[in-house]
Amino acid sequence: MSSDLGRRHLLQAGAALGGGLVGWSARDLTHDRGAEPADAAPAPAYGGEREPFHGRHQSGIVTPPQAHALVLGLDLRSGVDRAGLARMMRLLSDDVARLSQGRPALADTLGELAVLPARLTATFGFGPRVVAELVPPRHRFDFAELPDFATDRLRPQWGQTDLVVQLCADDPVTLAHTRRVLLRDARVFARVRWTQEGFRRARGAEPAGTTMRNLMGQVDGTVNLSERDRDHDRLLWSDLPGLGGGTFLVLRRIAMDLVDWESLSRSTREHTIGRRLSDGAPLTGGAEHDAPDPHAVDDRGLPVLDRAAHVLRAQPQKPDERFLRRPYNYTRDEADPALAPDGVEAGLLFVAFAADPVAQFVPVQQRLAEQDRLNEWVTTIGSGVWAVPGGCSPEDGDYVGRELLGTPAL
Amino acid sequence: MSSDLGRRHLLQAGAALGGGLVGWSARDLTHDRGAEPADAAPAPAYGGEREPFHGRHQSGIVTPPQAHALVLGLDLRSGVDRAGLARMMRLLSDDVARLSQGRPALADTLGELAVLPARLTATFGFGPRVVAELVPPRHRFDFAELPDFATDRLRPQWGQTDLVVQLCADDPVTLAHTRRVLLRDARVFARVRWTQEGFRRARGAEPAGTTMRNLMGQVDGTVNLSERDRDHDRLLWSDLPGLGGGTFLVLRRIAMDLVDWESLSRSTREHTIGRRLSDGAPLTGGAEHDAPDPHAVDDRGLPVLDRAAHVLRAQPQKPDERFLRRPYNYTRDEADPALAPDGVEAGLLFVAFAADPVAQFVPVQQRLAEQDRLNEWVTTIGSGVWAVPGGCSPEDGDYVGRELLGTPAL
């Protein structure tokens, strides 16, 4: 783990220093005499920065979150067997190995769009049906879809799929091009069921390390599994046979009733969450990263935190009820007034990674479904879980999922 | 003009230096001890940068293009008269005056999302029906919708609307919040017919001044009306009564057949456009900003440029056939295979500003519709034109459109 990390940081530093325009001449692709007034403050361009694709783990998990995400849910076409899935994973792995390093994919005729990876990552996952039907018995494991939680209002259009591909980058043009390349190569094997687009603050808009805010205006993601946590590796990486270096991805599409939410008083919103709006600190005092005190009382002896406040209900009750959150905001035109009274569905793509979602994620979500003041304003309308294989090596013919599928180098 | 520009640059510099977190404590809103590894290279955050809202011209026209755009097409509700439109414009102008400077709008309860304007601009325009029915006779002018061009395949869902609001910013969270605020205040007056989302390279991903590439991989926007051009003001700003400091906005939604386009040889694509893919230089030589030579011949005496090459057909035939282009890329999930064989509609939001679109834009588009090798791979599916009033002053009660509508301060 630590050597992986060391290498990652080294490569990042190298990309930042070296420019990262690999295989294409920087002179061909940049211009300093554009037609537009050059009144922006000059800053080093970060488009060339690269995240490593190869390694023990897939990229896009512990990668510091990029500004943009495109999450694709795909279903395998009928008749695609284990060998077919392996061929598809070989193609897609090769595509991302190149694109993430600023090189065009094979037969990528729009290669000019490939020169700025902007920290592009791709994270591939297999759904329960794939594990049950295409993973060989020696690697098969008990893998059910997530249970229905009482507060869920799931819409099939955002449901469980055979495959998930989480694409992230700091640049939306890079993501658009990457999606095209991947869908072209996946087309004969799979069809897209849904696409979920997410965004955070743009790269560089605010200081690095700032916890993101969701579209409710709240600081979101304060309590998170950190690489500095001694349980990090155990809680994140699976040790199931065939899944070494892998994990599980949980995606929940959480729609927000912003029209109602923004009509509430500031105090009501703060007590619903249990945190200050201004800086995300618990209402019981301290700063953002301090723990809330469920026993704190005010001057009159009354509890500061409502027992149903989101911050308390979401708190782990056992040390293992923790996971790595990597959420994105989303908006989408939506004609259904039940979902979007003002025509815009807005919410959170809750993305979480855990070695064992049943032990780590499900109890937390059960508790929130039982009672959480926030439930009045948020509704989960999509849900899925996927096994995320470990990463692949740069050796010729390796690809994501090869160990789990037990298939040969291709 | 020049003093406007001077002030703009001064304000930008001030924002960059001063931080731009107006009315909110920067300490409350930033954190340097986030849970995420701080391995990004430290760079000054630009989220606080502000574009001026008040002035002779609206913002978002000569503003160097931001990374993200949300263009909203709205129709007035039945019964909304001139006074109603004025009230709406008063509310929306006030909202943007605040939000663009990093301050929450009035009754903006999610003000934490308003602190990073990231060069937010809003550009408002009135469609032909509004000019014909709500503008007083002394300011009314002959203003027809754009003609149908032979190659257009217009879809009503992307058609002409009563109003257009072009929102631009370098940050997608800022845009999402701004849209919410504006739609909330517009709701009783107008309904949204369509929303068109656009993107360019992220702020800072490539050097400032780089001409953007569209999703076909081509450099797009090389030939453009520049502030350094002596005809700039005459070709951009209208002198119609009531429209002083204003202009016209043309929006064309141009879908691209990327599946077919990317199957072409590099040479075919270059000859279709008439420019090199690598750097956008004309095939007749030189660099990006050099003019193509329609008479150049190759070693065998054959013309280098096809007479139907896009670069030649798009060239102005008269000095006034020029306008300010400010395009954005777009992608959108689309189920209709005629439009998107791979499920993703991709293309260009062609946004152009001109003092007289009939004299400046229509002849160019007519010529392209008659003959342009590119027509085989691009189809305009949406079209509209709007009169863009001049800017408003910071005086109490002023708003965009007041002069044109002849309505009082409110």
- Residue A339: pLDDT band with limits 50, 70, 90: confident
**Alpha-carbon gap, residue B184 to A71, rounded angstroms:** 29
In this predicted structure, the answer to whether residue B159 has a pLDDT above a threshold of 70 is yes
Contact at 8 Å (CB) between B312 and B274? yes
* pLDDT per residue as tens digits for the range B278-317: 999 999 999 999 999 999 999 999 999 999 999 999 999 9
With H, G, I as helix, E, B as strand and everything else as coil, classify residue B179.
helix
| Separation CA A179–CA A172 (nearest Å) | 11
Q: Is the pLDDT of residue B7 over 60?
A: no
Show residues of chain B in contact with A224, CB under 8 Å: 35-36
Q: Please confirm, yes or no, whether A220 is among the known catalytic residues.
A: yes
Residue bearing tokens 């979902």: A339
pLDDT surpassing 80 at residue B32: no
Provide the ipTM.
Answer: 0.88
Mean pLDDT score, B43-55: 92
Interface test with B, best of A61, A170, A173, A377 (most B CBs within 10 A): A173
* Nearest CB to B208 within list A25, A38, A221: A38
* Range from A50-54, B207-211, B278-282, B339-343 carrying the lowest mean pLDDT: B339-343
Q: Which of A402, A383, A380, A407 is nearest to A392 (CA)?
A: A402
- As a whole number of angstroms, the distance between CA A120 and CA A327 comes to 17
Which ranges in B80-208 belong to alpha helices (H)? 82-99, 128-134, 172-186
Q: What is the pLDDT of residue B34?
A: 33
Q: Residue A11: inside a domain, yes or no? A: no
Percent of chain B with pLDDT over 70: 90
B387 beta partners? B126, B248
Q: What is the total count of domains within chain B?
A: 1
pLDDT digits (tens, 9 = 90+) for B72-127: 999 999 999 999 999 999 999 999 999 999 999 998 889 999 999 999 999 999 99
Is the Cβ pair A217, B65 closer than 8 Å? Answer: no
> Rounded CA gap, B102 and B99, in Å?
5
pTM: 0.89
Contact B352, B61 (CB under 8 A): no
- Subunit contact B112:A172, Cβ cutoff 8 A: no
Q: Which domain holds residue B243?
A: 43-405
The chain B residue lying nearest A104, using CA atoms, is B217
Residue A156: name the closest of A142, A168, A144, A145 by CA.
A145
Residue A252: CB atoms within 10 Å:
25
pLDDT in tens, A221-231: 888 999 999 99
A322 shares contact with chain B (CB less than 8 Å) = no
Cα-based torsion angle of the residue sequence B88, B89, B91, B96 in order, rounded to the nearest 10 degrees: 140
Of the residues B75, B94, B170, B220, only one is catalytic, namely B220
| In-domain check, residue B161 | yes
CB-closest option in B43, B200, B343 to A192: B343
Residue B18, domain member (yes or no): no
User: Within a domain: residue A290?
Assistant: yes
User: Which chain A residues touch B50 with a CB distance below 8 Å?
Assistant: none
B334–A contact, CB cutoff 8 A: no
A window 251-290, beta carbon within 8 A of B: 258-259, 262-264, 266, 269, 277-279, 288-289
The answer as to whether B34 is a domain residue is no
Element (H, E) at A166: strand A163-169
Read off the pLDDT of residues A243-268 as tens digits, 9 standing for 90 and up.
Answer: 999 999 999 999 999 999 999 999 99
Question: What average pLDDT does the structure give for chain A?
Answer: 89
Are A46 and B205 in contact by the 8 Å Cβ rule? The answer is yes
Q: Which of residues 349-408 of A touch B (CB under 8 A)?
A: none
Q: Which residues of A touch B216 (CB under 8 A)?
A: 110
Q: Is A179 on the interface with B (CB under 8 A)?
A: yes
Inform me whether the C-beta atom of residue A213 falls under 8 Å from chain B C-beta atoms: yes
pLDDT of residue A396: 86
Q: Which residues contact B156 (CB under 8 A, 6 or more apart)?
A: none
- Quote the pLDDT of residue A221: 87
Residue B81 lies in a domain: yes
The minimum CA-CA distance between A298 and chain B, rounded to whole Å, is 23
Q: Which residues of A touch B218 (CB under 8 A)?
A: 112
Question: In chain B, what's the furthest Cα-to-Cα distance?
Answer: 71
Contact call for residues B281 and B290 (beta carbons, < 8 A)? yes
- CA-CA distance, A372 to A70, in Å (whole number)? 29
Residue B37 has pLDDT above 60, yes or no: no
Question: Is A344–B179 a contact, with Cβ atoms under 8 angstroms apart?
Answer: yes
Phi/psi at B109 (5° precision): -80, -10
**Cα radius of gyration (chain B):** 22
Query: Which residue in chain B has the smallest CA separation from A279?
Result: B28
Q: Choose among B158, B260, B186: nearest CA to B216.
A: B260
Residue B272, helix vs strand vs coil: helix
Residue A164 backbone dihedrals phi, psi, to 5 degrees: -130, 140
CB pairs under 8 A between A and B: 266
Q: Please give the share of chain A, as a percent, with pLDDT higher than 70.
A: 90
DSSP single-letter state for residue A118: S
Whether residue A17 lies inside any domain: the answer is no
CA separation (Å) from A216 to A82, A202, A277, A301, B183?
43, 18, 10, 30, 16
Q: Which of B121, B292, B288 minimizes the C-alpha distance to B211?
A: B288
CB neighbour burial string for B56-83, b if at least 16 within 10 angstroms, e if fewer: ebbbbbbbbbbbbbbbbbbbbeeebeee
**Which of B46, B206, B221 has its CB closest to that of A204?**
B46
Q: Is residue A139 part of a domain?
A: yes
Q: Which tokens go with A229?
A: 């946590």
Facing residue for B202 by CB, picked from A33, A202, A279: A202
